[in-house]
Structure 1
Amino acid sequence: MANDWKKMARGGALLTLEKVFHEDAYSNIALNTLLNKRQYDDRDKSLITEIVYGTVSRKITLEWYLAHFIADRDKLEPWVYDLLMLSAYQLIYLDKLPAHAVVNDAVRIAKNRGNKKGAEKLVNAVLRRLTSKTLPNIEVIKRINKRYSVKYSLPVWLVKKLIEQYGQERAEAIFESLFERNKASIRVTDASRLEEFKDNFQADYSQLSPVGLTKSSGRFASSVAFKNGDITIQDETSQLVAPTLDIQGSETILDACAAPGGKTVHMASYLTSGKITALDLYDHKLALIQENAKRLGLAARIDTRKLDARQVADAFPAESFDKILVDAPCSGIGLIRRKPDIKYNKDLQDFASLQAIQLEILSSVCQTLRKGGIMTYSTCTIFKEENQDVIKAFLASHPDFEQVALDHDKKDIVVDGCLLITPEQYQTDGFFIAQLRKKA
């Protein structure tokens, strides 16, 4: 039964990692596809999830360790190397797993998977050397950026950039925090029931959002409260966006880059007679917004439309909207904890082209804002080029706009009149929010 290896948890992890490393699949999507398609029990599902996320998030570190035990990586078939990497992850970081089980499974997969003899011998030899010898010490790497890169599994350019913008001490705190587990966080749709759901779920109050609850982990999506629309899954930082628009109820609002709709439905929850036009480029993403709105009983307040936000000025008359949200496409660096594959995406270094798109969107949508109207700009990145610099550049070329200073009880997230949250501060996504007003 040559395909039996696919039924093993570690075999499933290997299949997923191959998609991530060689087919540019997103780890969360590749993992969901596998778990929905194949029959694994709950224990296997959580082992597969742990191995996939762990191996992706520690990839650079694992490659460095393996380089000490493999003479020439290029001579190995890619799947053999991936198998060694995911096995090394378990042996080095998951100390509750018996080493012999990890090695035996890897050898069995190599034997069943390989077309050529010998893959299982090599896998066995490398992993046994790895378990019998002391691991090489990362701290001996002399160049500091290289050392941090290997230690925290971040590409050198990202290490450099974070140190440049945040200084060495804070940058290292950010690096450390990216390995912490992401909390599960929800928004309670009726603030008066916050305490009730806190007790029901044995959760904690959010430190940042007055309507948020958090838990170290939890399957909120399968709860009755979720199905009934009493709660919705939304990161604490994202929950700070809608309140900045100070929605009174009757406004006409544009959500320029709306999918998957977490902020759209949050804004819609403040409306009585008003309406939100929610835009996205893709049909399947617009369907997500509608699904979200329906579950929360807000579908009547939201119209979805397929449109590139850069074409808003051509599609809508001037001064059509009272308020606008631009949750701009960005590098997504603030989401690394949840989507570890982001950090290996080379395109993200191109901040100039990201900034150009962000400014194009702002310059188009601002034409449809009425005088005196406000526009909130948000991103899930923590780099100046996509945040403060975008606001500065926009204001320099749009003298009819001014910045509105934002505030928060937690003063450490208020920077340059904007809210800037880095992942180590409150163990959340990294996030940025700024606001602009069209002068009356």
Structure 2
Amino acid sequence: MNVRALALDAYVRIVDDKGYSNIVINDLLKENHLSQADKGLFTEIVYGTISHQLTIDYYLNPFIKTRLKRWQRRLLFISIYQIIYLERVPDYAVINDAVNIAKEKGGRQTANTVNAILRSFVKEDVRPLNEIKDDLKRLSVETSIPLWILKQWKTHHGMDGAERIARSLTSRPNMYLRVNTRRITREELTAVLNEEGHKVEISTVHPDALIVTTGADILNTNAYQNGLFSIQDVSSMFVVDALVPGKEDKILDACSAPGGKGLHALEKTPGGSVDLADVHNHKIGILKQQAKRLQLENFKAYQADATEYHYSEMYDKIIVDAPCSGLGVMRRKPEIRYERHEKDINTLVDLQLSILNHVKKYLKPGGVLIYSTCTIHQMENENVAYTFKKNNADFEFDDFHIPALDFTGPYRQILPFEMDTDGFFIARFKKKEV
């Protein structure tokens, strides 16, 4: 299939059919034999169009003079993205492919409409953003982040903070590797990956992290297949730093899939054990596969609804990486910004508290409970942490340390511009001794 037609297919599946971007893209790449260059172009068009959707809509609107079907608008969106943002792609190639796709899907008249809109678009200057007088609305269009999210950030981080968060989430994310320190050092893994054709740098913000700078698919390396590293953002690695696993601790990762935090903890507990539990049964196989790939033992992986499951033992430490709005990972999952709505937050808060209030029963006195999310929303983060503490007199906040942020305290909202990582929240609680 033509790479742009394939990109349209992916874009529709993600935006209209609510598919997960990474899954849709990976599935279509497996089903279609594309050159390395076309794989790159396909991925760029899909992720780029989603990430700039509100901006593209603003630019395109003056050129829409007639009623269009949804797929026609989607075709125009991916075409406008290429025309504006991809300097190496000639406009005529974009327009020709768009017209051919429109003709195939809708006939000659549809093709003529698409052709007329795109040719008019390339003849005009891009509509200036300064036509939008309201600062927050202009920031919303410029960064393609819905206004309700920016309003929340402005309330809690100020206008400057909201702008810095928004702009940082429009940049390309780093790919971080978590070194399996049970098996290899960072320096040794760097040398191994260099030999396999990949350039990586030692991260200055976490002792287990490497940053990938160049190279093809790093998951196809022998180093990955042999379990020497995992893909994980630095911000979520700090969860295990906050946990401080003991060598013989029994640990529960209550919302585990895809397993990054629980397996990281297992790498740090040579004489302990970790239960990898998740509500979704189809993800349990993934947890087992990852543990096997990393050559880790002393774990159990099983399905468990963390709001009601009867765990079979008491734990020294528990991780609750709770279901959340995911606003901190927009760079990796750009569709999240359009799928979440303000009314969803209260439902998520209730679920997060329900999980915490259930799993706390399985923590030993003196034990540590970590609550974390990959979002930037005060109601889901600080509000949940304080509500849990207020309603549970046998729990208290407990300090942890993040050297890279020069931080010591019981909870921390990590903002994406601070270390060029995902947005993340971590709180540490300790259960009082009897």
Q: TM class, shorter-chain normalised? A: over 0.9
Evaluate the alpha carbon distance shift between residue 176 and residue 217 of structure 1 in structure 2; reply closer, same or farther with a 3 A threshold: farther
Evaluate the alpha carbon distance shift between residue 60 and residue 140 of structure 1 in structure 2; reply closer, same or farther with a 3 A threshold: same
Matched, 1:242 2:236: no
Matched, 1:50 2:41: no
Aligned equivalent of 2:346, options 336, 352, 356: 352
SS in 2 for 1:311: coil
Instruction: Assess if the C-alpha contact under 8 Å between 1:377 and 1:434 holds in 2.
Output: yes
Matched residue, 2:418: 425
Instruction: Write the distance in 2 (CA, Å) between the matches of 1:97 and 1:356.
Output: 47
Matched, 1:76 2:68: yes
Aligned equivalent of 2:429, options 415, 420, 436: 436
Number of paired residues? Answer: 426
Aligned equivalent of 1:149, options 120, 140, 143: 140
Instruction: Write the distance in 2 (CA, Å) between the matches of 1:431 and 1:121.
Output: 47
After the TM superposition, list the runs of 4 or more consecutive aligned residues in structure 1 that deviate by more than 4 angstroms.
none
Deviation at 1:272?
Answer: 3.0
Let me know the Cα RMSD of the aligned residues.
1.6
Evaluate the alpha carbon distance shift between residue 334 and residue 275 of structure 1 in structure 2; reply closer, same or farther with a 3 A threshold: same
Instruction: Write the distance in 2 (CA, Å) between the matches of 1:185 and 1:350.
Output: 30
Instruction: Assess if the C-alpha contact under 8 Å between 1:403 and 1:437 holds in 2.
Output: yes
Evaluate the alpha carbon distance shift between residue 415 and residue 134 of structure 1 in structure 2; reply closer, same or farther with a 3 A threshold: farther
Instruction: Write the distance in 1 (CA, Å) between the matches of 2:91 and 2:24.
Output: 27
Deviation at 1:189?
Answer: 1.2
Aligned equivalent of 1:328, options 317, 322, 332: 322
Structure 1 window deviating more from structure 2 (365-374 vs 236-245): it is: 236-245
> Residues 92-103 of structure 1: matches in 2 within 5 Å?
92-103=84-95
SS in 2 for 1:51: helix
Instruction: Write the distance in 2 (CA, Å) between the matches of 1:286 and 1:205.
Output: 32
Evaluate the alpha carbon distance shift between residue 64 and residue 29 of structure 1 in structure 2; reply closer, same or farther with a 3 A threshold: same
Deviation at 1:250?
Answer: 1.6
> Residues 202-281 of structure 1: matches in 2 within 5 Å?
202-216=199-213, 218=215, 219-281=217-279
Unaligned runs of 5+ in 1: 1-6
Instruction: Write the distance in 2 (CA, Å) between the matches of 1:105 and 1:252.
Output: 57
The one-letter code of the counterpart of 1:68 is P
1:211-232 deviation digits (Å, cap 9, x = unpaired)? 1001245432111111111111
> Residues 358-437 of structure 1: matches in 2 within 5 Å?
358-411=352-405, 414=407, 417-437=410-430
The one-letter code of the counterpart of 1:382 is I
The one-letter code of the counterpart of 1:252 is K
Deviation at 1:363?
Answer: 0.6
The one-letter code of the counterpart of 2:420 is Q
Instruction: Write the distance in 1 (CA, Å) between the matches of 2:228 and 2:58.
Output: 47
Matched residue, 1:316: 311
Deviation at 1:208?
Answer: 2.1
1:386-427 deviation digits (Å, cap 9, x = unpaired)? 111111101101011111112222336x48632321111222
Unaligned runs of 5+ in 2: none
Instruction: Assess if the C-alpha contact under 8 Å between 1:107 and 1:121 holds in 2.
Output: yes
Matched, 1:188 2:179: yes
Instruction: Assess if the C-alpha contact under 8 Å between 1:220 and 1:233 holds in 2.
Output: no
Structure 1 window deviating more from structure 2 (240-249 vs 255-264): it is: 240-249
Instruction: Assess if the C-alpha contact under 8 Å between 2:98 and 2:114 holds in 1.
Output: yes
Matched residue, 2:103: 111
1:86-134 deviation digits (Å, cap 9, x = unpaired)? 00000011111111111111111111221x4311111111111111111
Deviation at 1:51?
Answer: 0.4
Deviation at 1:274?
Answer: 2.1
Matched, 1:85 2:77: yes
The one-letter code of the counterpart of 2:232 is Q
